[in-house]
Structure 1
């Protein structure tokens, strides 16, 4: 079977193990069903997720001109503390910014390669944790807008990591942590205006990934340079496909690439 389409991040279904799906315009693949099968991936062309043109992808699935124009790629996406919709101040598109920023947000702890703090919209729990390859996570605060979540994350970054080591995450080189205990220790560092939103009654969420074999020395596949790759799929974790020869492919960081996938 051969499938072709533009890559966007894999859709997920929270079950044990997590179910992964690649959604193309005319095809729909349950990636779990490809485990232990040989897959051939071929780069076809670029397709910007905004303008749809065959232009080199700059970041986040967008060509360079779209990346600096669309509200979905503004600085407040990566830095929630820069959100201004709660002040009625526009960055790129106030209507869009209000639709995202003025929604309940969660500040959480996740254990993927180590314990880290992060921010996500409430509607993206537990999807965000799955995408990060976290095998356990817990909520710290639930706030009414993205700005409050952002300033909380900034305050906590002085006391806990805010990045995932992707190699360590993929090797599954992680230890179980008592995240409720971490939450209790970090509570005193939450900004005063956010303390009324502290959550202390949620328990850890545990996540089981469909992996037959973890890579010992993960090496990242650059399909734009390699153009074609063939390997046996042995796992899916975060937004990564894991192959038997320790090659790993980050689907999300390759959004905007049109690929052909052949299953042998």
Structure 2
């Protein structure tokens, strides 16, 4: 059976283990059901997630012209501290920026390759943690806008990591951490503007991924260099498909690529 469509990050469902779904325009694949099956991924073309044209993807699933124009790819997406909607100040599209920035945001600690701090909209919990391949996570503050979350993250990353080592995450070469203790330790570094939003009462969330075998030396599949790949699926973690030969495929970093997926 063959499915064809434009890649977007997999949809997830919090259960034990996480359930993964790859959604195409007219179909979907329940990826957990493909474990231990041989699948072929074939590159077909590009489809910008904004304009829909067959143009080379630049970043985040967008072609170059869209990336530098649309509000969904503005700098404040990756750097929340640059948010200005709370000041009624436009970056690219104030209506969009108010809709996204002026809603509850969570600053959290997650353990994927190490303990790291991050920011997400409250509506994206626990999706954000799953996408990062975190096996445990906890909230630190819940603030009313993206700017406050951003400045809190900037302050905390002086004392804890803000990046995930994807190879360590995929190899599962990680230790359990006491995130409640980490949260208590970092509380003192929360900026004054955000101190009132500190969360002291919740416990950590534990996440289990559908992985049969972890790779020992993960190597990333690049569709531009290898437009046709066949392998046996042995795991899914974060937004990565893990294959028996240690090849890993990051679905999210290939958003906007049109592929044909065949199942043996």
TM normalised by structure 2 equals 1.00
The answer as to 2:172 corresponding to 1:164 is no
| Distance in 2 of aligned mates of 1:22 and 1:98 | 30
The 3-state SS of whatever aligns with 2:160 is coil
| Distance in 1 of aligned mates of 2:167 and 2:202 | 29
| Distance in 1 of aligned mates of 2:71 and 2:200 | 34
The 3-state SS of whatever aligns with 2:175 is coil
| Distance in 2 of aligned mates of 1:235 and 1:160 | 29
Structure 1 gap segments, 5+ residues each: none
| Distance in 2 of aligned mates of 1:133 and 1:183 | 20
The answer as to 2:10 corresponding to 1:14 is no
The answer as to 2:249 corresponding to 1:249 is yes
Match of 2:150 in 1: 150
| Distance in 1 of aligned mates of 2:61 and 2:196 | 38
Residues 61-99 of structure 1 show CA distances to partners (whole Å, capped at 9, x for unaligned) of 000000001100000000000000000000000000000
Map 1:17-96 → 2, pairs under 5 A: 17-96=17-96
The 3-state SS of whatever aligns with 2:42 is strand
Cα shift at 1:223: 1.0
Match of 2:141 in 1: 141
TM normalised by structure 1 equals 1.00
Residues 125-151 of structure 1 show CA distances to partners (whole Å, capped at 9, x for unaligned) of 000000000000000000000000000
The 3-state SS of whatever aligns with 1:223 is coil
Cα shift at 1:214: 0.2
Match of 2:202 in 1: 202
Match of 2:220 in 1: 220
CA RMSD of aligned residues (A): 0.3
Cα shift at 1:225: 1.4
Cα shift at 1:182: 0.1
Structure 2 gap segments, 5+ residues each: none
Match of 1:192 in 2: 192
Match of 2:263 in 1: 263
Cα shift at 1:183: 0.1
| Distance in 1 of aligned mates of 2:72 and 2:172 | 31
The 3-state SS of whatever aligns with 1:153 is helix
The 3-state SS of whatever aligns with 1:211 is coil
Map 1:225-244 → 2, pairs under 5 A: 225-244=225-244
| Distance in 2 of aligned mates of 1:20 and 1:185 | 34
Cα shift at 1:193: 1.1
Residues 187-226 of structure 1 show CA distances to partners (whole Å, capped at 9, x for unaligned) of 0000011100000101000000000000000000001211
